[in-house]
Structure formats: C-alpha cells, structure tokens
Amino acid sequence: PPGAGFYIRFNNPIDVTKITNDLVTVAPEIPGMVVSGSYDSISINGLTAGRTTYNVTLSPDIADIFGQTLGEPVALTFYTGSMRAYLTGPSETLTTLDPTASVPAFTVYSVNMPKLRVRAYSVTPDDWPAYLTYLQEYYRDTDRRPPGDEVLNTTVSVDGEKDTLTETNIDLTAALGGRYGHAVVIVDTPPSLLELIFPNSYEPVIQSWVQSTNIGLDAIT
C-alpha cells in the first residue's frame, strides 16, 4: 500500500555496512527515501504514492558478506495500490477556532473521500454537561443526538487529489449564527442506502464542541 516500504531479499547475507542510498535508484523518485540493509535483505522506505509504478535499479556493486557483487544492474518493478479512505481532525472535546481567521472554520483532513457530511447543533454553555454525557454514550448508541438544535446538515465536496491528504475548511458562520458562538460539530461520510438500514458504528467520525470567540484569558500563578 502507499507509504509502505519495498523489500528485496537476496540468496546470501549482504554486507549491510556498505548499503547506502547511492546503491539504489528509483523512478519516480520517492520523497524522503531511505535505503537500509538487514541480514539478507534491503528495504526502501519513504513517502511512496498510491497507484504508482516504481522502477527500482540495484547497483552492480551491492556485495554479500563473502565479497561477491551482483556484477550487473538488477531491475525490479513495484506497484502501489490505492490508499484506504481516511478522515481525521480535532480530537479534543472542546475546540477553539482561530480568532484571526476571516471566517469561523472547522478544519478536517481526509484521503479518498470525495464528499463529507457536516452537521452542527447550536448550543450554549448550559448544554456542556449534556454534551459530555452524549460523548460517553455515543458508541453504545450511535443514534443519539447531541444537545442543542440542529442548525446545519449539509454535504461538502472535498477538493483533493486521489491518495492525497486533503485539508477541508468548513465555514461555520451559518451554524454559529454569526462570527461568534458555540456549536457541536459532527463530520463524517454521507451514509449509503445500506448504512441507513444497517448503521455502521465504526465509520470514521469527527465531532467536537466548537467555540468561536474573541476573548483571551491568561492565568498567572
């Protein structure tokens, strides 16, 4: 899979003290490539891309522990598949938005997710205890609703390349009723028809109590 290393095994133990990046050529280049040796194998690690064909050429100077070398270049081909769909974002119970941003935006990151479902519930500080209870019970009952009134339920398109970690900034102006306020924000994938019938509690979901404020506080002891 993308991001995983390539491993090449030899008939004899190799002289690992002489294994360097210069002995291996890869096209296209792998960002951050590191070549290392271990007993009878060579590993090539780095930021490999998805859905890519990599042509690897081993130098004829690679030697085993007996001093024997390959003698001629060896060409190998590796293929990477597609990355698994992935969603990540703020993991804190409470998220404070950037007060210097032009709009109050909640940021998430995804891979191979063309669309994201965004829901938001308007809340006040008085709803905080109910929100904590909601979080504690969420994975026991994924049909539970957070406190507050639903003020946003929409689908946003993700503008990113396949197999690439993509940042999506979700404008919460409408959910907050302006520039400042509080909302419980839930970001996940739009459910398929089958998931509507048989909900999957293991689908990736990002949820947080979000506050947008221009108040700063320093505590000094």
194 located within any domain? yes
Domain that holds residue 104: 86-212
Buried b (16+ CB within 10 A) or exposed e, 109-144: bbbbbeebebbbbbbeeebeeebeebeeebeeeeee
Stated pTM of the model:
0.70
Residues 75 and 121 in one domain: no
Residues 97 and 73 in one domain: no
Residues 93 and 43 in one domain: no
Residues 106 and 182 in one domain: yes
Residues 132 and 204 in one domain: yes
Q: What does 34-93 look like in DSSP terms, one character per residue? A: EEEEETTEEEEES-PPSS-EEEEEE-TT-BBTTS-B--S-EEEEEE--PPPPEEE---SS
pLDDT tens, position by position, 159-187: 988 888 899 999 999 888 887 899 999 99
pLDDT tens, position by position, 100-115: 888 899 999 999 999 9
121 located within any domain? yes
Whichever domain contains 158, its CATH number is 2.60.40
Residues 136 and 46 in one domain: no
pLDDT tens, position by position, 58-110: 999 999 999 999 999 999 999 998 888 889 999 899 999 988 888 899 999 99
179 located within any domain? yes
144 located within any domain? yes
